[in-house]
Amino acid sequence: MQAIKKYKVDRLNANVYGSRTDLGVAAASAVGHKIREMLNSKNELRIIFAAAPSQVELLENLSNHIDLDWAAITAFHMDEYIGLSKNAPQGFGNFLRKYLFDRVPIKTVHFIDPEAADPEMECRRYAGLIAEAPIDIICLGIGENGHIAFNDPPVADFNDPVNVKIVSLDRACRQQQVNDGCFKTLEDVPSEAVTITIPVFMAATFLFVVVPGPTKADAVFRTLHGPIDTSCPASILRRHIQAVLYLDRDSSRRLPA
């Protein structure tokens, strides 16, 4: 699938595709190619996945790559609400089970427990798992407020001292969950979550950033053309040496022709 436009801002490459469907096919193909390439020189890969409606096309297409050696992959998810039932469909672990983990013979998936009795201890447990070895690939999106994972502007820290932390979700972030159809009302959206932090993204070897849809156009513009600061946490991606941003016509509509 060929991009209809390409940009490069600082170190960040951005490819624009004609439709959301084309974007998903292209991103999944690129991720699959990178997995195969890396497994030529490594016995095992460690990959972190985002869970959001914006990732559905990527995940569904990636699950169709049955030739991938899924048994060589250890997976993580990047965030989870605090206080949801383990069976709640809005849970990010459950989302990834539905669209990827239950569809492929993956070796291991490490889940964040939304019902952990001690969320701080759960953060330390998950941080320890992430720190066991380098993260090879992260598949992520960008929120309407410019967040990556649940690093919203009020809590984002480019030099966070921990790999995983508890955050309070800002109103724009919670409203996005309603806009995406995940919750009926703002009051239904949990106010706290566990998230991996920005240094985890920056330490990963490859980033595949999948951002379709008209509601992401402002965040995409700020990511590429605003200052690199925590007012738009995704702007830090311009400093990563192996990150590619995948856009469609809608999410790229504010970019120069």
Within a domain: 254: no
Within a domain: 257: no
Q: Give just the sign of the alpha carbon dihedral 173, 206, 210, 131.
A: negative
- Give percent of the chain with pLDDT exceeding 70: 100
Within a domain: 188: yes
Per-residue confidence at 208, pLDDT binned at 50, 70, 90?
A: very high
Close Cβ partners of 137 (under 8 Å, ≥ 6 residues apart): 31, 34, 35, 38, 45, 46, 47, 48, 204, 205, 206, 207, 208
Close Cβ partners of 29 (under 8 Å, ≥ 6 residues apart): 1, 61
Within a domain: 84: yes
What is residue 175's predicted lDDT score, i.e. its pLDDT? Answer: 92
Residue 26 has pLDDT above 90, yes or no: yes
The helix/strand/coil state of 162 is coil
What is residue 172's predicted lDDT score, i.e. its pLDDT? Answer: 87
Residue range of the domain that includes 74: 5-248
Instruction: For residue range 57-106, list pLDDT tens digits in order.
Output: 999 999 999 899 999 999 999 999 999 999 999 999 999 999 999 999 99
**Quick check: 77 and 106 in contact, CB under 8 A?**
no
For residue 163, give the nearest of 205, 139, 191, 135 by alpha carbon: 135
Mean of per-residue pLDDT scores for the chain:
96
**Quick check: 78 and 50 in contact, CB under 8 A?**
yes
Residue 180 has pLDDT above 90, yes or no: no
pTM comes to: 0.96
Q: Which residue has the tokens 């109103």?
A: 171
Q: Residue 15 is encoded by which pair of tokens?
A: 């490819």
Instruction: For residue range 117-134, list pLDDT tens digits in order.
Output: 999 999 999 999 999 999
Domain count, the chain: 1
CA angle 15, 246, 190 (to 5 degrees): 155
The helix/strand/coil state of 249 is coil
Within a domain: 93: yes
Q: Which range, of 29-38, 73-82, 144-153, 178-187, averages the lowest pLDDT?
A: 178-187
Q: Give just the sign of the alpha carbon dihedral 164, 93, 73, 26.
A: negative
For residue 85, give the nearest of 115, 55, 60 by alpha carbon: 115
- Most distant pair of Cα atoms in the chain: their distance: 51
Kindly report the backbone phi and psi dihedral angles of residue 75, in degrees, each rounded to the nearest multiple of 5, phi listed first: -115, 155
Please state, in angstroms and rounded to a whole number, the distance separating the CA atoms of residues 99 and 40: 26
Within a domain: 90: yes
Per-residue confidence at 243, pLDDT binned at 50, 70, 90?
A: very high
Q: What is the CATH number of the domain that holds 16?
A: 3.40.50.1360
Per-residue confidence at 225, pLDDT binned at 50, 70, 90?
A: very high
Residue 211 has pLDDT above 90, yes or no: yes
